[in-house]
Amino acid sequence: MLSALSIRNVVLIEALDLDFGAGLSVLTGETGAGKSILLDSLGLALGARADSGLVRNGEAQASVTATFDPPPADHRAAMLLADNGIDMEPGEPLLIRRTVKADGGSRAFVNDSACSAALLRELGGCLVEIHGQHDDRGLLNARGHRALLDAYGRCDAGAVGAAYGAWRKAASALAEARETVDMAARDRDYLAHAVDELTRFGAQPGEEATLAEERASMQKGARLTDDLSAIADCLTGSDGGLAQLRQAARRLDRIAAEDERLAAVLEALDRAVVEAGEAEDRLAEVAEALSFDPARLDDIETRLFDLRGLARKHQVQPDDLADLCADMAARLTAIEGGEEHIAALEADVAQKAAAYRAAAQALSSERQLAAGKLDAAVAAELAPLKLDAARFRTVVAPLDEGQWTGQGMDRVEFEISTNPGAPFAPLTKIASGGELSRFILALKVALAEQGGADTLIFDEIDRGVGGAVASAIGERLSRLARSNQILVVTHSPQVAARGAGHLLIAKSSDGTVTRTGVHALDEGERREEIARMLSGAEITAEARAQAERLLERV
C-alpha cells in the first residue's frame, strides 16, 4: 500500500509531502489546479519516462519519493526485489526514489540501491495500477488476462504445468537421442573399421611401459654378451683360470707337509678357489638373466612401434586405446540399437503429450466456465455505470501448438463492444477515456480480490457523467476499497462523498511565483469542498445542505 509521497520541484509543486491511508482516498480541485502534476509525479516514481520538462523552472533537478508498506515475502514485488539483489529489512518500508535533472538524465533508487528504469517500471506495476485513458498497464495488458481469469475461476494450472514439464523433458531426451544416433550414423563405416582394428590389436593399459622395459633389458644383454662370454672363457674350461687354481691347489697339497710355511700358501689358494667358484656361478646367473632371443626382440620392437602408431592415429595415449575401443564400440552399438531406443522414446513423448493435452483441455473447460461467470458479473456492473449498451466478453481461444506452455494451450483476452451490432475488440481499441475507466472499474469490481496491484488509482473515472451514474461509480469504488487502497481523482461530489480521506489540490500565486499545493480536509472542510463541487464558484446554503446529505448517505 502507498503510505506516503514526497515531491520536490516538479513543475508547479515546490515541496509537497502527502500521507495516504487505507480504503478510498479522493483528490479534488478546480480544473487546472495541478491534479495531473500529482499523478505525473507518482508515475515518475513508478518508472514512467523521465521528462526534463517536469523540473520546476529555475531548479537543477526534481525528485519524487514514494513510500510503500513492506510487502510480504510472497508478494510479487518482494520476489522481484530478491531476484535483483535488493535487500528488504523486516518491517522496514519500501522506498522508491526518482530524480530528473533539468539538463536531462535521471536516476532511480529502491531502498537507496541504484536500479534501472526498466526494473522500476516492473516494480511499479506490481505495486500500483493507474487507470486512465492513456494507461496501458494493469487490466489493459492482455498478457495478464489469463492469470486474472484463472484466479477468478480458481482454475489450477499446477497439473498442466507438471504435465508440460514431463512432456518437454521427454521431448528433449528424444531430440538428444536422435542427434546422437544421427551423428554416429554418419560415422558408421569409420567406427566399424576402427573397432575392428582396435579389437584385433588388443592394446592393454600399461602395455607400452612393459614392452619398453623388456626391450631395454634385451638390448642391454646384446651389448654385454661378448664380454660376458670372454670372461666366462677365462674362468671355465680345462685351461681356464679356475681349473689352473684347482690344479695348483692339488699339487701344493701334496708337498705342503715339506715346509710349514706352505700350509699358509695352501690356505690362501683354497680361498681363491672358493671365491673364483662363486664368481663363476654369479657370472652364469647374470649371463642367463641378460640372455635374449633376437626373434623376441624383433617382435617386441614391432609391437611397440605399432602400438605407438595406433595411438598417434587416434590422437590418444597408448594406455587409452582400450577405453577408446570400448567407447567406439558403444557408439556403434547405439547405432545398431538406436532405432529401438528412439521408438521407445517416441512412445514416451506421445504418452506424455497426450497427458498434457488432457490436462490442458480440462483446464480450458474450467476457463470457459469461469469466462461465462465473469462475463455475467461484468455485465451486471455495466448498466449502473451508464454502459448498458455495451457488451463484455472473455475470449478463451486455442493457441498454436508452438505457443503452448505450462499455463495451458489457451489465449485469454477481455474484449468489449460499445454499441449494439458493433464488433468486439480489445478495451483500448474502442473505448473513450471515460468509458475505459468505467469498464476497468466494472472489471475490478467483478474480479474483486483476484490479482492485480494493491493500490489502484483512477483518473477522472466520472468524466462526463453525473447523478445516478456518479453515485454508482462512488458505490463501486467504495466496495472495491474494502480489499484495495483506492485513490481517485474526481470532479463528482457523489464520488468525493464516498472517500475515507479527502485531499484538495489547489493552485496559489504571490504575483510572481505560482505553486500547487495539496491539503488534507477535515470534516467541515470536506462539506465545503463538496458543496463547491455541487454549486460552482458561489457556495449556496442549498449546496451545503446537499453536501451534508451526501456525506450522511455514505
pLDDT digits (tens, 9 = 90+) for 203-238: 999 988 888 887 887 777 667 666 666 676 677 766
Q: How far apart are CA 240 and CA 218, in angstroms?
A: 28
Residue 257, in any domain of the structure: yes
Residue 89, in any domain of the structure: no
* C-alpha 54 chain-centroid distance: 36
Rounded mean pLDDT, 530-549: 83
Biggest distance spanned by C-alpha atoms of the chain? 172
Q: How far apart are CA 75 and CA 127, in angstroms?
A: 10
Q: 483 is written with which cell numbers?
A: 480489499
Residue 263, in any domain of the structure: yes
Residue 281, in any domain of the structure: yes
Tell me if 283 sits within 8 A of 230, measured CB to CB: no
114-159 per-position pLDDT tens digit: 898 889 888 988 888 887 544 544 577 788 889 889 988 889 999 9
The mean-pLDDT minimum among 201-210, 287-296, 517-526 falls in: 287-296
Q: How far apart are CA 413 and CA 57, in angstroms?
A: 44
Rounded mean pLDDT, 534-546: 81
Q: Phi and psi of 324, rounded to 5°? A: -60, -40
Rounded alpha-carbon distances, angstroms, from residue 183 to 178, 190, 192, 427, 533:
8, 12, 14, 52, 79
- Whether the pLDDT of residue 536 is over 90: the answer is no
Burial of 372 (0-12, 13-18, 19+ CB in 10 A): middle
The per-residue pLDDT for 450 is 59
H helix intervals, 384-512: 427-430, 433-447, 467-480, 493-496
At which residue does the C-alpha cell 634385451 appear? 218
Residue 376, in any domain of the structure: no
Residue 524, in any domain of the structure: no
Domain that holds residue 315: 190-331
Residue 549, in any domain of the structure: no
Highest mean pLDDT among 235-244, 427-436, 521-530: 521-530
The count of structural domains within the chain is: 1
Q: How far apart are CA 246 and CA 274, in angstroms?
A: 10
Residue 225, in any domain of the structure: yes
Q: How far apart are CA 468 and CA 471, in angstroms?
A: 5
